[in-house]
Amino acid sequence: MPNNWPRWGLACVAGLIFPLGLAPFDWWPLVGLSAGLLFFCLNPAHCRTPLRTGFFFGAGFFGAGVSGVYISIHVYGNTPVPLATVLTVMFCGGLALLFTLQALLFNRLASRHLGWQVIQFASVWVLFEWVRSWLLTGFPWSYAGYGMLDSPFAGWIPVIGVYGSSWLIVLLGCLWVSALSRPQRAPRWIITLFCSTALWLSGSLWSGVQWTQPLGTPFRVAAVQPNVPLKEKWNPRYRGGILRDFVERSARLSESHDIVVWPESAIPGYRDQLEAVISQADQDATNSATTLITGIPTRDTGGRYNSVVALGNGSGTYNKQKLVPFGEYVPLEGWLRGLIAFFDLPMSQFSEGSSDQPPLMAHGLPVASLICYEVVYPDFVQRLGRDAALLITISNDTWFGDSVGPWQHFQMARYRAVEMGRDLIRSTNDGITALVDAGGRVIATSPQFTDAVVMGAVQPRTGHTPYALTGSLPVLVFALITLVLGRDRP
C-alpha cells in the first residue's frame, strides 16, 4: 500500500499558504502556487485518494483563511473556549468537504492530456467557488481571483470579474507548477511563459481602457468610523452619548461635505423609537444641502430589518437582503435560540429585505447601498450596482477583531469597485473605513480601532464595464463547457 501522507501533507501546506496571497499579506503569486500544488497532488495518473487529498487541502485552506470566526463565537458570542473551538473546527471542516468533492470531480473527469487537465482544473475550481456563493445561503470568501487585485493582471478584472480572474490565476499556477515539476520539459516552459506573457500584456492593455465616464462633479465625502465597542453599542447606559455624537458630528460634517456616511447599525435602536433623533439629523443635513446616509435597524408589520437610510438631500431606505447566519438570523431558531449565548446575539432576529427595492438617492443620483456581508457577493453587487452612480458599503467588522477578516473584507469591497467601474465609499465601526476609486485605488483611509473620519472626494460615474453588463454567467458557462469538453471519450 503506498504511503499517501507526503501527498496529504503537501496538500495541507498548499491550503495553508493560500491566504498569504490575499489581504493583508498580498503575496499574490502564492494563490496560483497553492492551486498549482493541489493540481500536482491530484495528478490523475498517481493520486488514488482524491477525497482525502482534497480534504487536507481544504482543512489548511479554511483553517488558515476563515478560522477568525472563533473571535466572533468566543469573544463576542460569549461561548466558552472549548465549545468555541469545536464550533470553529466544525465550520472549517464542513467547508473543507467542498474541496473533497471538487477533487473527486476533477479526478473523475480529468483528461489524459496535461493541457486539458490544466484547463479542467481551473474550470472545476471556478465552478466550486460559484457553489460556495449560494450553498446554505452562501459563503463567497477567499476566492482565488482576489489575488489579482494588486497584480500585473488586474486589467482583466472589469472584463471577466472575480470568477474569470480565479480561472486565470489558477490556470497560471498549474502551468508554473507543472513546468517546475519537470524542468527538463522545454515545451512546458514555452507554453507557460507564452501564456503568462500574453495575459500580462493583455491585462496591461485592458488597464488603459476607461470603461466608465465621470458624471457631473466630484462629491466631498466624510465617512465616519465611530469605534464604539459592541458591549457599549446595545447597552442602554451608553445610548444617549452615542445618539448625541451622531447628531452633533453629522451636523458639523454636513457643513463642509456633500455626503456623510455612518456605518452599519450606527444608531442603536429601531428607527420608530428614535424619530426625534432622525428628524433632527434630517433637518441639519437638509439645511446644509448634504446627503446623510446611516445604518439603522427598522421594523414594520413584515418584520425587522438591518437597514440603511438616506436623509437630508437624499432619500430612500434599503433593507439588507443577504443576512449572516447566526449573526442576523438563527437557522432552526426554535431549537437553537437560547441554547448558548452565541445563538442569542443582539439584533439576530432580522428578516430579509425584498429583492425589488429601489436604490437610495443622493443629490438626485442613484447609489447602490450594500450592508456588510452583501459586498462579497459578486453577482448580487452587479445587479444592484449596474446603474448606480456610486457604490456605498457600510459594515461593522468589529466581529472579526484583529484577525485578517477585516482586511479580506476590504479587499473584496475594493474588488467590487473595479468590477463595476464605480467609486466606492466604505464606512465601518472600527475599520477599515476608506474611499476607493473606480480602479480600486485607495483615496483615503484610517487606522483600525480608532475614532476617525475619512475625508476626500469621490466621482459619480456612468457607463458599464463588460462585467457589469454580463455578470458571471459567461465565465461559468465557459467553465462548465471546458470541464466536460476536455473529458476523454471512451
273, part of any domain: yes
Residue holding cell 425589488? 356
Give start and end residues of each alpha helix (H) in 339-447: 378-385, 405-420
362, part of any domain: yes
Contact 169, 143 (CB under 8 A): no
Contact 45, 426 (CB under 8 A): no
* Candidates 129, 372, 374, 419; catalytic one: 372
Looking at the fold, whether 174 and 281 belong to one and the same domain comes out as no
Give the pLDDT of residue 329: 62
CB contact set of 327 (below 8 Å; sequence gap of 6+): 72, 345, 348, 399
Measured distance CA(350)–CA(299) in Å, rounded: 9
The answer to whether residue 232 is catalytic is: no
* 414 alpha-carbon distance from chain centroid: 9
Looking at the fold, whether 67 and 162 belong to one and the same domain comes out as yes
* Candidates 129, 264, 328, 419; catalytic one: 264
- In the chain, the number of structural domains is 2
Looking at the fold, whether 296 and 442 belong to one and the same domain comes out as yes
Domain coverage including residue 79: 5-210+471-485
230, part of any domain: yes
Looking at the fold, whether 308 and 347 belong to one and the same domain comes out as yes
Looking at the fold, whether 248 and 170 belong to one and the same domain comes out as no
57, part of any domain: yes
Measured distance CA(158)–CA(65) in Å, rounded: 25
Residues of the chain with pLDDT under 50: 1, 332, 334-337, 339-340, 342-343
Looking at the fold, whether 138 and 276 belong to one and the same domain comes out as no
201, part of any domain: yes
Give the pLDDT of residue 331: 56
43, part of any domain: yes
* Candidates 41, 129, 320, 374; catalytic one: 320
The answer to whether residue 320 is catalytic is: yes
Give the pLDDT of residue 334: 47
Give the pLDDT of residue 283: 98
Respond yes or no on whether the N-terminal peptide bond of residue 432 is cis (omega within 30° of 0). yes
The answer to whether residue 275 is catalytic is: no
Give the pLDDT of residue 399: 77
Give the pLDDT of residue 457: 98
Give the pLDDT of residue 335: 44
Give the pLDDT of residue 163: 98
Contact 337, 320 (CB under 8 A): no
Q: Is 9 helix (H, G, I), strand (E, B) or coil?
A: helix
Q: Give me 362's grid cell.
A: 443622493
Looking at the fold, whether 12 and 54 belong to one and the same domain comes out as yes
Q: Is 452 helix (H, G, I), strand (E, B) or coil?
A: strand
490, part of any domain: no
Contact 440, 415 (CB under 8 A): yes
